[in-house]
């Protein structure tokens, strides 16, 4: 959407800072601007299939949608691992200035931070679990430029990119798949400036309470020129115990982001974050995470994406971990995306362990209802 000069995410997404459920306008723009067409449509020609379940026209106050993603992880020289990534339903009710939003779904393995029932982990194997990634209530003010919310939400930090296990999302614990937190937030979306700040109260789907983080996170982004946006992010969150050493830990992440479309088919995204971890009986750890990503639209609906990333977590690694991504994404039909990622990573480890190199193919089929 950077290529189409959309600075603000709030017009297309229920979350005022982007990602997650689309608004009805966002559905229409997704069909007109992002999906593959044999003939390029005009803005007034959004297909009726952009509606919920392809054809259902909902009342104005209700917004329903879904997110179903599955695929396979194919390590070179390893065993193919089927993936059940997401199966969620989204619901939003908007009455006057008040907005109520919730998601509910099913997860398999590695969804602990978002799971409600059953509780598993340790000696209890994880099977299917009831997942609730978001639930919040909010109100808009100042002609909907300001929104105040409370509940379980995405953490406002950095880029809202889809690749949730890229270093910048994984190391900062700010991905939109599992790392939502309960808190109170206020967001602003103006003509040239947008941003959000959130008081973090912890993830109450994770226990005991000592593991829950409290602190703040926030970002601000400014339109420097048409299709060129610069942002800053900051996060400080502390817990009374980490899940490895059972020690109090406070983590910091502070960074800058950039979004730029120098030519119509190309969009560039960049993020650099300074990281720190503080524990009372250990030396402070310092690190960083960085990402540079380019998205080239070969034709409408078909994207070729390349990315370079790096990180260092301050644990005695011999140099940074680095990675490269080559991806192809095809929005082939209404609400359907097919994607293939080739991921090469060299992971540094603390001495005396040597670095490891791995190449993985990730195939995905995504339905967004």
What CATH number labels 2-368?
A: 2.40.160.10
Q: What is the pLDDT along the chain (369 residues), one digit of tens a residue?
A: 898 888 889 999 999 999 999 998 998 888 888 888 877 666 566 678 888 888 888 999 999 999 999 999 988 877 888 988 899 999 999 999 999 999 999 988 778 889 888 777 666 667 788 999 999 999 999 999 999 999 999 999 999 998 988 999 999 999 999 999 999 999 999 999 999 999 999 999 988 999 999 999 999 999 999 999 999 999 999 999 988 878 899 999 999 999 999 998 999 999 999 999 998 877 789 999 999 999 999 999 999 999 999 999 998 898 999 999 999 999 998 889 999 999 999 999 988 889 999 999 999 999 988
**pTM (whole model) above 0.85:** yes
How high is the pLDDT of residue 123? 62
Q: What are the structural domain ranges in the chain?
A: 2-368
Q: Are strands 266-279 and 282-299 parallel, antiparallel or unpaired?
A: antiparallel
- CA–CA gap between residue 154 and residue 175 (Å, rounded): 8
Q: 20 and 28 in contact (C-beta within 8 Å)?
A: no
pLDDT value at residue 305 = 97
Token pair of 356 as six digits: 């490891």
- In the chain, the DSSP E strands lie at 62-75, 81-95, 98-108, 115-117, 128-131, 135-141, 146-153, 181-189, 193-202, 214-225, 228-239, 249-263, 266-279, 282-299, 302-312, 321-333, 336-347, 356-368
Structure tokens at 255: 């960074």
Contact 329, 355 (CB under 8 A): no
Amino acid 331: pLDDT = 94
Q: What is the rounded distance in angstroms from the CA atom of residue 53 to the CA atom of residue 57?
A: 9
pLDDT of residue 48: 80
Distance in angstroms (rounded) separating the CA atoms of residues 326 and 204: 37
pLDDT for the residue numbered 32: 86
């Amino acid at each position: 959407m950077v290529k189409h000069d959309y600075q603000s995410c709030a017009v297309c997404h229920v979350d005022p800072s982007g990602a997650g459920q689309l608004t009805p306008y966002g559905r229409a723009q997704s069909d007109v601007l992002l999906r593959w067409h044999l003939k390029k449509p005009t803005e007034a020609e959004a297909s009726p299939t952009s509606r919920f379940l392809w054809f259902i026209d909902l009342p104005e106050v209700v917004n329903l949608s879904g997110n179903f993603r599955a695929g396979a992880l194919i390590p070179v020289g390893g065993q193919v691992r089927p993936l059940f990534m997401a199966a969620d339903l989204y619901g939003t009710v908007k009455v006057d200035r008040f907005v109520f939003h919730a998601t509910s779904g099913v997860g398999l393995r590695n969804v602990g931070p978002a799971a409600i029932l059953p509780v598993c982990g340790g000696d209890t194997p994880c099977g299917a679990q009831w997942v609730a990634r978001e639930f919040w209530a909010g109100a808009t003010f100042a002609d909907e430029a300001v929104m105040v919310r409370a509940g379980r939400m995405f953490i406002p930090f950095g880029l809202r990119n889809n690749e949730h296990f890229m270093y910048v999302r994984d190391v900062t614990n700010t991905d939109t798949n599992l790392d939502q937190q309960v808190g109170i937030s206020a967001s602003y979306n103006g003509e040239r400036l947008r941003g959000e700040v959130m008081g973090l109260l912890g993830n109450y789907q994770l226990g005991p309470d000592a593991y829950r983080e409290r602190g703040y996170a926030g970002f601000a982004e400014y339109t420097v020129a048409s299709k060129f946006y610069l942002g800053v992010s900051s996060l400080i969150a502390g817990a009374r115990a980490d899940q490895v050493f059972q020690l109090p830990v406070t983590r910091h992440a502070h960074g800058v982001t950039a979004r730029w479309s120098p030519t119509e088919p190309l969009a560039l995204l960049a993020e650099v974050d300074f990281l720190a971890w503080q524990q009372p009986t250990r030396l402070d750890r310092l690190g960083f995470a960085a990402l540079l990503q380019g998205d080239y639209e070969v034709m409408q609906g078909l994207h070729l994406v390349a990315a370079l990333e790096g990180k260092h977590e301050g644990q005695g690694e011999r140099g940074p971990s680095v990675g490269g991504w080559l991806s192809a994404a095809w929005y082939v039909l209404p609400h359907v995306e097919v994607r293939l990622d080739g991921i090469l990573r060299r992971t540094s480890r603390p001495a005396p362990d040597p670095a490891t190199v791995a190449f993985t193919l990730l195939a995905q089929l995504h339905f967004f209802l």
